[in-house]
Amino acid sequence: MSGLQDLYREIILDHYRAPRNRGELPAPPAQKVEGFNPLCGDEVVLYLDIDVEVDGGVVTDVKTGGQGCSISQASTSMMSAAVKGKSIDDARTLIRAFKALMSIHESKLEGGDEGDLGADLEGVRLGDLEALQGVVKFPVRIKCATLAWNVLQQGLDETEASSG
């Protein structure tokens, strides 16, 4: 196994063993959003504190809960660290970029064309999230990695719908 793969494995295990932003926020005022992956039993609970008074809205705090495999829980931890303090637009950009990362590598494995997916990744720094790119070698695990991101997207959509 290459040194980079070892590093990626360590990053994933670190986030699984010592998840960032674990806990709860009072809901309301925070928004509680839940997601479930019936294929493997992963559960993600997000508590989002979004300041809609700031221009465009800002994710001022995020806490996570739930249970599941190391991939889903590490991805949830990484996602929470990545979006905390970001504007809603920046959080949405990260969601698109992460999902493109999961899709683009799957597309390459299948010999397909990257198409518009490359545009979603362009100029976005994913940092530790890149450690999850190896997940696409195991297609059944992609849902584990993207669960938290889908829940975040749902929470942002609900926040914008209720404040708009």
Q: 49-97, pLDDT tens digit by residue?
A: 999 988 889 999 999 999 999 999 999 999 999 999 999 999 999 999 9
> Which pLDDT value is given to residue 7?
87
Is 0.85 surpassed by the pTM of this model? yes
Q: Which two tokens stand for residue 120?
A: 């979603």
Sheet holding 31-37, edge to edge: 31-37, 42-51, 58-67
Is pLDDT at 2 greater than 80 in this prediction?
A: no
Listed by start position, the domains of the chain span 3-163
> Which pLDDT value is given to residue 63?
98
Question: Residues 133-155: pLDDT tens digits?
Answer: 888 888 889 999 999 999 999 99
> Which pLDDT value is given to residue 164?
65
Q: Which residue has the higher pLDDT, 102 or 151?
A: 151
Hey, which bits of the chain come out as E strands? 31-37, 42-51, 58-67
* Domain formed by 3-163, architecture: Alpha-Beta Complex (3.90)
